[in-house]
Each structure stands twice: as C-alpha cells, then as structure tokens.
Structure 1
C-alpha cells in the first residue's frame, strides 16, 4: 500500500459571518431602550463614540386618550419611583417590631424564605434548624411575624393565608371557619356539601363566600416590580391628511456621534495612528449600522401599518392576515430580518400599544372573497365569551358554529386551541365559576 501527498487548487464561495455583520444583525432586534444601552457600552470602549441622548418629550395626547386599562400603553402616566419591594416592605416592619438583636436575626431567617406571593416557602423545621432555635420558639416567632401588614404574609397554606386576612378584617365566623376547613369542596363547586359541612343554609353560605372573595390569596404579589415594568414604544402611528403615518419615537431614540475633531488631534501622535484609525472606523461603522437599523425598522413598520389600516380604524376584530413573507417581499429584505425587527418592538396606535408580532396571523378560509385572520377570530371568540350567559356558557362546538355561520370556517379543535391561547377556561369551568360567584 503506497501513500502519497497531492496538492489541488480550487475556488469556492462561502458566506462568512464577520463580527461586524453579527453586530448589525443584533442591532435589528434591539428596542430603543436596549439600543441606547448598547451604544453606551460601545462608547465606554471607543473614545470617539458619543451618545446623543433623546429628549424626554411627551407622546402626543390624541394617541393616549383612547387607551383602556387592559392595555399596557399608558406611557406618560407612569410614576418615576417604584414602591418598595416585598422584601424591603417587610424588613422595614421588622426593624420596628424587633428591638432585640437576636430576635431580629431570627426574623431575618423567616424573611429569606418568603416567596413573591407572600407565602412562606420553606418548612418551619428547616428555618428552625438554620436559626438554631427549637420548634416551639419557631412557632412563637411565626405567630409574631404573621402580624405584619398586609395580613396573610408568611402563610404556609391557602387556608392559613385567608384565615389571617379574615381575622384581620373581622370576618371570622363559624361559617367562615367551616369554609376554610373545606376548601376542596369549594374548589369543586359542591355548595350543597359545603353547606352541610358548615352547618348553615345556602343564603348564609353565599354571604360568606362573597366575603371570602374580598380576600387576597397572594398578598405579596402587589409588591412585584420586576420584568413587568412598562417601557416607551419604539414606533408611533398617527392619522395624517393622506392616511396613516408611522414614525420612530424620537423621545427614546438615541443616535451615534463620531468625534472627528478628537481623532484629528490624536493622530498627531504617530505612535497612536494605528489605534486611532481602527477605533475611528469602528465608530463610523456603528453610526452607519444604527442609521440602517432605523431605516429598516421604519420600512417594516410602514408596511405593517399600510396592511393593517382596517385595524387602526376599527380595532382588533379587523386585523387582516399577514405573514413575515408578505412584509419581507414588499420591503425587499429576508424573512429573518422582518422577524428580528418585529421581535420586542412596540408600536403605539389609536387602538392601544401592541408588539409588532401581534399583527402577524395566518389566514382562515371564509365564504367571501377575503380571508379572515386568526387574530381577528381570536378576538371574536373573546367577545362571544364575554357576552355569553354566565349560567349557560358557550361550548367549543357552539362557538365554532357561531363563527362558521358568520362566514369563517372553523373547527371545534381550532376553537379549543385559540381559547387556550387566550387563557379562557372551558365552558364547564366557566359555569362552575359563575355558580361560585352567584
């Protein structure tokens, strides 16, 4: 067997993902707020990059006056300072409750085990072991800690959480105690069995259930201010003389300024010429990349607004079918570019503030010439459930028949899928909830 080495010369083409190309792709999917953070981080490393921060101009009032409480679009009404966190709220009360240093340290062990809901997540035995106290001391400390406000914090079960609140509000009675001891019957909507267990008539039970609904099963949830913080939209839609006009939200849009004068002064030092040239080229490229990002966002946003004019006029029920491919072909970019641009971008319209992804939906066949969008059908399902008789809720089959009779062909399993997407309970669950709320 003979081995030999040979050399061959050939040509081939391949796509190379350079670092600058990767950065340009990254810029496409950044919101205005994230873009400012990115430019600021680049300015820390590049002496020739400066951030031209936007002015905090208010959004135009006509866009905000039609917003409802269900939308996350009340941009200008947000408070500048957030309320204290659950941890900080409870810690401030502990400072007043426990003057003894040892008791304060023990109380801190309980605070470490609190969940965002306000419940105590760790077993009492584990907290007692970590605090080096007996179970009897742990029980006594828990009784004291459960006196903090709001009532219901540091509860270990749902029944205990509701019991603490009922005592605090003066609602505790033999019937309330019976209800709290039989919560599984309440969850199953077995009102007759619950009435027998509590030893009361149905009218008394219903009055007690009304009081129970005033209690909060998660008293700590009101203190959460994490990722749900609202932010400014990236695009603004207004009604102009010739139709709908889309524009970038200049109140949050940063821009890149290249300090050419500083670069010229530094280049007099010949030893720094190579470094200055490299940094200056990167600064110029970043400015062009941000401008290209803004231009692409504007083109994609304008095409979406053009296609969804009926939605802007009449609301979510009039969203037309639209895919990434439709927008990409019209704008002249790849589908992946449209996908990146619309990810995380917010647009404020007269109908509210929405993510750009909201407007993309598949088409459903109809009896007419125009197809219906899945988004519009989901909105229709939501309206039908909202207007239904609570004691006789519409089943998935009934919803499918109503929408089909209106001209859009819809199967029962499709209704079930859309209902789950909208987080609407089944007809059986809705009927049970109506029975409990009666």
Structure 2
C-alpha cells in the first residue's frame, strides 16, 4: 500500500468567544451598581478610563401610588443612617464587630443580602455558596455563626429553626418542647390529641408548652420593618405621560458611563505599546457599556409595551409573556433577554422588581386562557388574605369567586397555585384560627 501526503483546503465558520466577548456578556448580567463597581476597578489601573455618573436635574415623576418620585433615587446617598432602627443596619453592625477576614466578610455580606424583612434567610445555602464562591462547609459554618447574633432566630431557614433558636436562647428547649417543634405540622393542624400521644404527655403539660411556643416570635425581624431599609436604586424608571401612556428611561442617577481620556495619550511618551493597549481597552469598554445600556433600554421598552395593563391596573393584569416574545420583538437572542432580566430592576407603581417578574406562562387553553399564571396567583393571594379566618375559602370556593370575575380556572389549578404561594388548605387554615382562639 502506498501513502502520499495530500493538501486539502476548505472553509468553516466558528464562533470564538474571546475574553472581550465574555466580558460583554457579563455586562448584561450586571445591575447599574455592579457595573459601576467594575468600571471603578478598571479606572484604578487604566489611566485612560474614568467613571462618570450622569445625574439629571429633573428626574421623571413616577405614577401616582408609587410612594415617591424618581428624583428620590438621586438622593439615596443623602438618606440618614437608620442605625439600630433598621434590621439591615442592626445586623451589619454586629457582623462588622465580629472582626472577620476579607473572604469571610464577603460571604457574610451575601448572607446579609439574602436576609428577608422577617429575619429569615430567603436564599438556600447552595445558592449562597454559588454566589459567594465559598464551599458548603464554609457556608454552613458562617450560618451557625450568624444565627448566634441578636435578635434570636435571625437567619433561620424555616419556622421550626427560627423557634428552636429562640427557645434555646431563652432556656425553653426541653425534650417536650423539642418534640413539639419537630411536629409543628400537627400544631398547625390543631391535632392536640395526636401531639399528646407523640410527646407522651397529658394535655395540661402540652398546653403549657404551647403557651411558651406562642410567646416566641416567628418573625424576629418584623420589629424593624417600620425603619427605613437599605434601598437598591432601580436600573429603569417608568413615568406616566401627561397625555396618557408611559415612558421608560434609564436611571441616570446610577447609570455609569465610561469616559475615555484620549488626551492623556499625547502626554505619555514612554511605554508606547502599553499605553496603546490600555487606550484600546478603554475605548472597547466605553463601547461595551454603551451597548449594554442600549440593550437594557430596548428590552425594558418592549416589556413596557407588552405589559401596559400591569402598569395601569396592577399585578392581577399581568399578561402571559415569555422571553422569546421579547427576544423576537427586539431582534436579539433569548439568552440575552434572560441575562438582562435576572439582573436589572425597574421602578413600577407597585414597587421595584426585577424584569424577570414580568415573564409568566399562559393558562392552559382548555381553561379559557384567561390570563397569566402570575396574575391568577396574585388574585388568589388577595382573596385568601381578605377571607374570614374562621370561614376560609375552599379551593372550589376560590374557583367560583374567580369565575365571577371572568377568570376561568380548574380547581386543581387553584390548588397548585395556592401550594406555590405556601398557603395551607382551607381546613388547615380553619383549624389554625380555632387553635389561636383557644390558647
């Protein structure tokens, strides 16, 4: 067999994701504050980069019912220090006093960002580990450390853990009390006889333990709720036009812009190659930030156009919408919409929320396609919140109430949405109301 070398030619296309493209993608996943911090870090080491915040004199006014104007966001730095009156500030002060190193402090700050107004930890530990880059062992060690702070029960992951931390701090964690905490579902179901059997005690002893249980605070952070909390300025602002309609704008009080110091290059004689490379990076950074801002604005404008009913009438009028709808309308990839929606927030008449909250699947066609799942969930929540505790709405009753409002859904769908909201069945809610009246 004879072998001979052969030269073949051909063409093929491939996408090479270089470092600059990777960074441009990362920009889409940043909020204004995160982007500002990134630019500041580059300005420290690149003589041709400077950060400029484009403050505006007359900020647009938010629609009525928002509780303030967009100009308020320009005065965030002037807000008084809430001190001990704020849950966030109260916990931050204690964490700072622990004298932790840089890495531990960064991890503690991720925990602090995940602290709900109730005092509970609203993010799972694996999510905190992912965001902080710390191992699960370090995350769990930090959790144990933070759970020793005041008030007792803070940074708990669920109700049982919150009450257990408080009971231990008050010296109430007896074997009987621990069994009660292990069977909180039975307490919620008002199954006191069954709880007596499990705990091996008579009813008087159980009632004494339940009275101690009621003396604990299921939401230790609630006492701080009236204090001003740290504000994260929204990335987008919505204002209502005098002639009707809506306008969306970038929040100029936090929108960073990169200034390229081209004149600096003329005054630098030595290190010409280095300076040319740094100047090229500065110019690319300016273009990348500008593209990011334009992309955010385009996506926000299309969401505003598609969800006008929400801005006018509230969450119950949120229409079905998926990310592909916005991607097709704007002419970008669906993954770009996903990245921006996870990072960017918008100030609406109903509070500041991430853009991803506007995406919700439609109800199944056989149920009338009467709106988005998110809108129906919001309506179910409001109906249950307004019910008489001793006469709660059953799932079938909720179906009938929604049907009167022109929303056609099946009972199984109502049950599914109720469970997603973390709301118990009507029977359990009735027993809980009866239990509360007995103790």
Scaled by the length of structure 1, what TM-score is found? 0.69
**Cα distance in 1 for residues equivalent to 2:267 and 2:302:** 45
- 1:46-65 → structure 2 map (5 Å cutoff): 46-53=46-53, 55=55, 62=62
Q: Where in structure 2 are the equivalents of 1:243-258 lying within 5 Å?
A: 243-258=245-260
Q: Give the aligned partner of residue 233 of structure 2.
A: 232
Contact 1:86 1:116 in 2 (8 A): no
How far does residue 437 in structure 1 lie from its aligned partner after superposition? 2.0
Q: 1:347-401 CA distances to partner (integer Å, 9 max, x unpaired)?
A: 1111211111111112225799974111111111112222233234334344345
Backbone CA RMSD of aligned residues: 4.4
Task: Give the conservation status (yes or no) of the 8 Å contact 1:33–1:252.
Answer: yes
> Which residue of the partner structure matches residue 298 of structure 1?
297
Q: How many angstroms apart in 2 are the aligned matches of 1:118 and 1:221?
A: 18
In structure 2, what is the Cα distance between the partners aligned to 1:395 and 1:160? Answer: 34
Shift of 1:35: 0.5
Give the direction of change, closer, same or farther, for the CA distance of 1:292–1:214 in structure 2 (3 Å limit): same
Q: May I ask how many residue pairs the two structures share in their alignment?
A: 366
Mapped partners of 2:153, 2:25: distance in 1: 49
Find the residue that maps to 1:420 and give its secondary structure: helix
| Aligned twin of 2:110 | none
Seen in structure 2, the aligned counterparts of structure 1 residues 432 and 238 have a Cα distance that, compared at 3 Å, is: same
Contact 2:53 2:252 in 1 (8 A): no
Aligned residue runs from structure 1 range 321-332, under 5 A? 321-332=320-331
Do 1:116 and 1:221's aligned partners in 2 also have CA atoms closer than 8 Å? no
- Structure 1 position 263, deviation (Å): 1.0
C-alpha distance 329-7 of structure 1, shift in aligned 2 (>3 A): same
Q: Which residue of 2 aligns with 1:83?
A: 90
How much has 1:312 moved relative to structure 2?
A: 1.1
Choose the corresponding residue for 2:261, options 259, 262, 270. 259
TM-superposition CA deviations, 1:131-182 (whole Å, max 9, x none): xxxxxxxxxxxxxxxxxx76789xx995784486599xxxxxxxxx999587
Q: Take 2:290 and 2:305, find their aligned partners in 1: how far apart are those partners?
A: 22
Equivalent residue for 1:102? none
Query: Which blocks of at least 5 consecutive residues in structure 1 are unaligned?
Result: 93-110, 120-148, 168-176
2:352 is paired with a residue whose SS is: strand
Counterpart for residue 27 of structure 1? 27
Q: Distance in 1 between matches of 2:191 and 2:367?
A: 47
- Counterpart of 2:350? 351
SS at match of 2:202: helix
Distance 1:61 1:197, change over 3 A: farther
Q: Which has the larger radius of gyration?
A: 1
Please list the CA deviations of residues 51-77 of structure 1 after superposition, one character each: whole Å capped at 9, or x if unmatched.
114559897675585459xxxx9x956
1:419 aligns with 2:418: yes
Please give the alpha-carbon distance, in whole angstroms, between the structure 2 residues aligned to 1:321 and 1:293.
26
Deviation at 1:236, TM superposition (A): 0.7
After superposing the two structures, state which structure 1 stretch, 325-334 or 182-191, moved more.
182-191
Cα distance between partner residues in 1 of 2:167 and 2:26 = 48
Distance in 1 of aligned mates of 2:195 and 2:364 = 48
Output one character per residue of 1:300-354: Cα deviation in whole Å (capped at 9) or x when no partner.
Answer: 1111112211111111111111121221222222222211111121111112111
Equivalence for 2:11: 11
What's 1:372 paired with? 371
SS of match in other structure, 1:363: coil
- TM-score normalised according to structure 2 size: 0.69
How far residue 86 of structure 1 moved from its aligned partner, in angstroms, is 8.2
- CA distance change for structure 1 residues 213 and 351 in 2, over 3 Å: closer, same or farther? same
Relative to 1, partners in 2 of residues 1:54 and 1:437: Cα closer, same or farther, differing over 3 Å? farther
User: Shift in Å at residue 250 of structure 1?
Assistant: 1.1
Distance in 2 between residues matched to 1:264 and 1:429, nearest whole Å: 76
Distance 1:16 1:56 in 2: 40
